[in-house]
């Protein structure tokens, strides 16, 4: 065994389909590094324990040297005990005929309870990413009920939307997605999000960097194809697969955590849902997706000084308004 202390990584909803695509990458060292031992804490609800025990058997059969232990449980105390990282994918799914408010209320209950468990049992340095929808507002509730953990340790996943935006630009320009940098997802992980290419760069076949907006040269495509495709991509996958995104969501979770752990690249930023500090006029405390850079000490900061035109401002405000409404509904549920 190595002398490096194992990292305790909690994944909730761990009998679900995102977790099934995610757990191997974490246990294989693809996120926290090839010399970082891992102890997986896997939480799901009681009726999923048999299924979860099968996931554990498979993880054992992967025979991964970095995987020091797998704890499967339906107890929040066991799941949150001494964890360094929390990936919260377990949430109440929307069922047919369910009102948005009912969905929100069911999730407020889950994230209130998990926030309290985080506060009581996790390491104070824990880094949290909320994946389960509505991800931004679930994250807001979680943080509210874990007051002993710094707000900057909480985030929600908008990296899948960010990756989708990169991929659409790459397809349009017939380049690979690594040549597309600094797209932005502003706001909510919902269909009101604003995928923004105005500040993005692309490397074209001339080997030079260009502004993505100017290289695309097609305002109509950006407004009427690119933005709606990214905003509604989750629904398109659900319609085709009859299941929501899982492989791409797991990949995005890995990207999100790897960049948070190790820092973003020199000339790049990424999108993360983080508590607003009032930047770009967004209400303080809302969990809003911004362009962020992360330093070598796992500290993120919102990229400042980007010029915002009136059209962009309108879209940024619309998604902000939706988050304010979700927050108010969640708070009303909490006080009931």
Token pair of 247, please? 């492989």
Min CB(20)–ligand NAX separation in Å: 8
18 lines the binding site for ligand NAX (CB under 6 A): yes
15 lines the binding site for ligand NAX (CB under 6 A): yes
Binding part of the chain for ligand NAX, among 25-33, 129-137, 178-186, 323-331 by CB under 6 A, reads 129-137
Q: How far apart are the C-alpha atoms of 19 and 43, rounded to whole Å? A: 11
Q: Which of residues 236-255 bind ligand NAX (CB under 6 A)?
A: 244-246, 249
Binding mask 140-179 for ligand NAX (x = CB under 6 A): -----------------x--x-------------------
Nearer to ligand NAX, 153 or 201 (CB): 153
Min CB(79)–ligand NAX separation in Å: 8
Binding part of the chain for ligand NAX, among 14-22, 167-175, 278-286, 326-334 by CB under 6 A, reads 14-22
234 lines the binding site for ligand NAX (CB under 6 A): yes
Q: How far apart are the C-alpha atoms of 157 and 323, rounded to whole Å? A: 15
Terminal-to-terminal C-alpha distance of the chain: 50
Burial of 250 per CB tally in 10 Å (0-12, 13-18, 19+): buried
Rounded to 5 degrees, what angle do the CA atoms 166, 170, 172 make? 120
Nearer to ligand NAX, 95 or 217 (CB): 95
262 lines the binding site for ligand NAX (CB under 6 A): no
291 lines the binding site for ligand NAX (CB under 6 A): no
Task: Report H helices in the chain.
Answer: 17-27, 49-61, 76-80, 100-121, 135-144, 159-173, 212-216, 219-221, 227-231, 233-241, 247-262, 310-335
Residue from 5, 33, 45, 120 that binds ligand NAX (CB under 6 A)?
A: 45
Binding part of the chain for ligand NAX, among 9-17, 55-63, 280-288, 299-307 by CB under 6 A, reads 9-17
184 lines the binding site for ligand NAX (CB under 6 A): no
Nearer to ligand NAX, 85 or 246 (CB): 246
48 lines the binding site for ligand NAX (CB under 6 A): yes
> Which residue of the chain is nearest ligand NAX when measured via CB?
16
The full DSSP string for 209-264 is: EEEHHHHH--HHHIIIIIHHHHHTHHHHHHHHHSS---HHHHHHHHHHHHHHHH--
* Residues engaged in binding ligand NAX (CB under 6 A): 12-13, 15-18, 43-45, 48, 89-93, 110, 131-133, 135, 157, 160, 189, 234, 244-246, 249
């Amino acid at each position: 065994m190595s002398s490096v202390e194992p990292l305790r990584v909690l994944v909730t909803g761990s009998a679900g389909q995102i977790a099934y695509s995610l757990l191997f990458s974490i246990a294989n060292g693809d996120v926290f590094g090839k010399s970082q031992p891992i102890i997986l804490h896997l939480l799901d609800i009681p009726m999923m324990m048999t299924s979860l025990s099968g996931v554990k058997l498979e993880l054992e059969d992967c025979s991964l040297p970095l995987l020091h232990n797998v704890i499967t449980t339906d107890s929040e105390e066991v799941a949150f005990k001494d964890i360094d990282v929390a990936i919260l994918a377990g949430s109440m799914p929307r069922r047919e005929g369910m009102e948005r408010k009912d969905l929100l209320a069911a999730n407020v209950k889950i994230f209130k309870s998990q926030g309290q468990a985080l506060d009581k049992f996790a390491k104070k340095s824990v880094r949290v990413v909320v994946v389960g929808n509505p991800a931004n507002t679930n994250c807001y509730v979680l943080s509210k009920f874990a007051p002993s953990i710094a707000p900057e340790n909480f985030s929600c996943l908008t990296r899948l939307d960010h990756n989708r935006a990169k991929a659409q630009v790459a397809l349009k320009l017939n380049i690979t997605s690594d040549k597309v940098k600094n797209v932005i997802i502003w706001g909510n992980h919902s269909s009101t999000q604003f995928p923004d290419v105005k500040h993005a760069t692309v490397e074209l076949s001339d080997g030079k960097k260009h502004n993505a907006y100017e290289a695309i040269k097609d305002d109509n495509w950006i407004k009427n194809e690119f933005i709606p495709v990214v905003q509604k991509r989750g629904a398109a996958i659900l319609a085709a697969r009859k299941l929501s995104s899982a492989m791409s969501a797991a990949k995005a979770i890995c990207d999100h955590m790897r960049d948070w752990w190790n820092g973003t690249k020199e000339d790049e930023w990424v999108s993360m849902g983080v508590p607003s500090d009032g930047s770009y006029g967004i209400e303080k405390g809302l969990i809003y997706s911004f362009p962020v850079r992360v330093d070598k000490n796992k500290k993120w900061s919102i990229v400042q000084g980007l010029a915002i035109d009136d059209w962009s401002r309108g879209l940024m405000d619309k998604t902000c308004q939706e988050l304010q409404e979700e927050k108010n509904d969640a708070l009303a549920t909490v006080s009931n």
